[in-house]
């Protein structure tokens, strides 16, 4: 009798454990089923590393990808090449995490009916990018490697996030057999994942630090004879600028003036303002990790600090973060945070809709206004308003030197037009002169953007 009793108790205990386990599973299922089904690599919703199961549109409503039955891209080969780093290819050679980061909203997994809703292809995502602007940017880059970014600093919408080189996912070239270098780094998304030596566009950071620390008063002047020695290191300018103000020094991109100014600003403040402007911050854009820049001056001597203030030494910046910094200057010290995913619907239901989020204040309004004045002067007196088709562009060019290589070309800035509140960056690897190579690329892309926003 005792044996039967023990067996009954054992069976009861087992039943309790089984019931508890079942209950625990049901709770976890209710909470985590969406995540389990949409985990990266799930064969039900992924092709390689890229999500399937919906239609993707640009900001104008042009369809750029249909993944409801395979992956059908735009009918325009140029658009296909210009968007593949955001959408991914069929084989996962180019991994595009944007759609995967919204897998739960895209797939719409139903805990009762499973994936049946996704199989009907009811998911539609609208991105903030413009297919026409993407196309124009990739074509403007031509054979150069680099990236172009444009975003609305009032709303946060990214109109352009192009990386080059690229390829048509419907006509993939023989990349493994390429010996020309045309496809070097083709799988890298340079807009999100690359960091560059900024060259003279970094002088905006030095200027911001100086203006807020009163290290550069309106009456302060600098004397440039074409070269100087700071901390035992030779600082060379491309010209002899004579006695100039900070505004003139920025327009002429005077290395002598900015080398001296960096010394007045100091190591701590230069690093602090790079951080304030978000250049060294680790952050995500719609769940996509963005490469953090570096301004490491802990072991820098006076000469190193001078070169860092000029935009050389160990300075590194990412295109998206610098574009965002331009937006913060344009916005009077603060701006909208950039994003790519505008809206996701499934049938009649809105599964996701972006909201504008504003950054913390990076600069005082007075310093931002002064920088805007200086940058507007750069375009009016140096780069030429004629390039920009009537837009009020404020910008700075940069040329980042690399020993034994052609310099990288940079151009960064923003428009102050009410109907075209755009911040932009152009980074061209081995392009040479920023004003000669990167500025015309920016001008072409901005014209297409302006037409888009009309």
Q: Which residues pair with 207 in a beta bridge?
A: none
Q: Does residue 335 register a pLDDT over 70? A: yes
Q: Rounded distance, CA 215 to CA 211, Å? A: 6
Listing DSSP states for 227-247 in one string gives EEEETTEEEE-SS--EEEEHH
Give the chain's radius of gyration (CA, Å). Answer: 26
- Retrieve residue 117's tokens: 């809703």
Position with higher pLDDT, 112 vs 376: 376
Q: Does residue 171 register a pLDDT over 90? A: yes
C-alpha to C-alpha distances, 115 to 45, 98, 107, nearest whole angstrom = 9, 21, 7
Q: Does residue 345 register a pLDDT over 90? A: yes
Average pLDDT of the chain is: 89
Which pLDDT value is given to residue 70? 83
Which pLDDT value is given to residue 41? 52
3-state secondary structure of 297: coil
Q: Rounded distance, CA 102 to CA 185, Å? A: 26
Distance of CA 382 to the CA centre of its chain: 27
Count of CB atoms situated within 10 Å of the CB of 227: 12
CA angle 297–146–412, rounded 5-degree value: 65
Tens digit of each residue's pLDDT (9 = 90 or more) over 204-261: 999 999 999 876 666 689 999 999 999 999 999 989 999 999 999 999 999 999 999 9
Peptide bond before 165: cis, by omega within 30 degrees of 0? Answer: yes
Which pLDDT value is given to residue 107? 79
Which pLDDT value is given to residue 119? 45
Q: Rounded distance, CA 202 to CA 180, Å? A: 32
Nearest CA-CA partner of 244 in 275, 220, 264, 268: 220
Q: Rounded distance, CA 426 to CA 144, Å? A: 11
Q: Does residue 264 register a pLDDT over 70? A: yes
C-alpha to C-alpha distances, 329 to 185, 342, 353, 361, 372, nearest whole angstrom = 32, 24, 27, 10, 7
CB 412 within 8 A of CB 396: yes
C-alpha to C-alpha distances, 62 to 73, 131, 132, 148, nearest whole angstrom = 11, 8, 10, 21
Position with higher pLDDT, 43 vs 388: 388
Q: Does residue 2 register a pLDDT over 70? A: no
Q: What percent of the chain has pLDDT over 90?
A: 75
- Retrieve residue 322's tokens: 């610098």
Instruction: Report, as an integer, the average pLDDT of 361-384.
Output: 96
Instruction: Report, as an integer, the average pLDDT of 103-128.
Output: 66
Which pLDDT value is given to residue 354? 97
Nearest CA-CA partner of 72 in 206, 169, 3: 169
CB 130 within 8 A of CB 150: no
Q: Rounded distance, CA 376 to CA 329, Å? A: 12
Q: Does residue 35 register a pLDDT over 60? A: no
Q: Does residue 109 register a pLDDT over 80? A: no
Phi, psi angle pair for 181, to nearest 5°: 85, 0
Band the pLDDT of 47: cuts 50, 70, 90: low
CB 290 within 8 A of CB 279: no
Q: Does residue 26 register a pLDDT over 60? A: no
Which pLDDT value is given to residue 113? 46
Q: Rounded distance, CA 304 to CA 306, Å? A: 5
Q: Does residue 45 register a pLDDT over 90? A: no
Q: Does residue 39 register a pLDDT over 90? A: no
Q: What percent of the chain has pLDDT over 70?
A: 84
Phi, psi angle pair for 136, to nearest 5°: -60, -40
Which pLDDT value is given to residue 347? 83
Which pLDDT value is given to residue 40? 52
Which pLDDT value is given to residue 104? 83
Task: Find the helix or strand (DSSP H, E) in which 343 lies.
Answer: strand 341-346
Q: Rounded distance, CA 121 to CA 361, Å? A: 42
- Retrieve residue 297's tokens: 């001056």
Tens digit of each residue's pLDDT (9 = 90 or more) over 418-430: 999 999 999 999 9
Which pLDDT value is given to residue 215? 66
Instruction: Report, as an integer, the average pLDDT of 86-97.
Output: 91
Which pLDDT value is given to residue 105? 86
Band the pLDDT of 10: cuts 50, 70, 90: low
Which pLDDT value is given to residue 163? 98
Q: Rounded distance, CA 359 to CA 125, Å? A: 25
Nearest CA-CA partner of 237 in 223, 227, 249: 227
Q: Does residue 279 register a pLDDT over 80? A: yes
């Amino acid at each position: 009798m005792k044996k039967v009793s023990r067996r009954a108790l054992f069976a009861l205990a087992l039943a309790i454990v089984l019931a508890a386990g079942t209950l625990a599973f049901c709770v976890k299922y209710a909470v985590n089923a969406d995540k389990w089904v949409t985990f990266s690599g799930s064969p039900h919703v992924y092709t390689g590393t890229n999500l399937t199961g919906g239609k993707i549109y640009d900001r104008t409503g042009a369809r750029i990808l249909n993944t409801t039955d395979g992956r059908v891209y735009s009918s325009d080969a140029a658009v296909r090449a210009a968007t593949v780093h955001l959408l991914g290819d069929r084989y996962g050679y180019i991994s595009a995490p944007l759609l995967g980061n919204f897998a739960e909203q895209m797939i719409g997994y139903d805990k009762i009916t499973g994936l049946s809703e996704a199989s009907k292809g009811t998911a539609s995502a609208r991105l903030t990018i413009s297919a026409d602007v993407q196309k124009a940017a990739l074509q403007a880059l031509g054979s150069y490697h680099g990236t172009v970014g444009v975003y609305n600093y009032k709303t946060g919408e990214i109109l352009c996030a192009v990386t080059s080189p690229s390829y048509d996912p419907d006509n993939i070239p023989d990349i493994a057999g390429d010996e020309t270098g045309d496809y070097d780094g083709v799988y890298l998304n340079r807009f999100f994942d690359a960091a560059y030596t900024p060259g003279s566009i970094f002088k905006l950071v030095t200027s911001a630090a100086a203006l807020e620390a009163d290290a550069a008063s309106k009456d302060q002047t600098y004397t440039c004879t074409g070269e100087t020695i700071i901390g035992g290191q030779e600082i060379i300018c491309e010209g002899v600028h004579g006695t100039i103000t900070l505004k003139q020094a920025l327009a002429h991109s005077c290395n002598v003036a900015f080398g001296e100014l960096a010394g007045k600003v100091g190591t701590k403040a230069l690093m602090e303002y790079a951080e304030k402007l978000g250049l060294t911050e680790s952050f995500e854009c719609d769940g996509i990790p963005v490469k953090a820049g570096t301004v490491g001056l802990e072991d820098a001597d006076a000469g190193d600090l001078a070169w860092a203030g000029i935009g050389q030494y160990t300075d590194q910046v990412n295109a998206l973060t610098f574009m965002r910094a331009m937006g913060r200057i344009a916005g009077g010290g603060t701006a909208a945070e950039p994003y790519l995913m505008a809206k996701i619907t499934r049938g009649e239901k809105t599964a996701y809709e972006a909201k504008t989020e504003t950054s913390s204040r990076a600069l005082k309004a007075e310093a931002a206004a002064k920088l805007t004045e200086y940058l507007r002067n750069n375009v009016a007196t140096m780069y030429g308003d004629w390039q920009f088709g009537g837009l009020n562009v404020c910008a700075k060019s940069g040329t980042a030197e690399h020993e034994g290589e052609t310099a990288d070309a940079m151009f960064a800035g923003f428009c102050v037009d009410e109907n075209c509140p755009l911040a932009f960056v152009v980074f061209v690897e081995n392009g040479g002169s920023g004003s000669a190579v990167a500025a015309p690329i920016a001008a072409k892309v901005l014209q297409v953007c302006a037409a888009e926003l009309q």
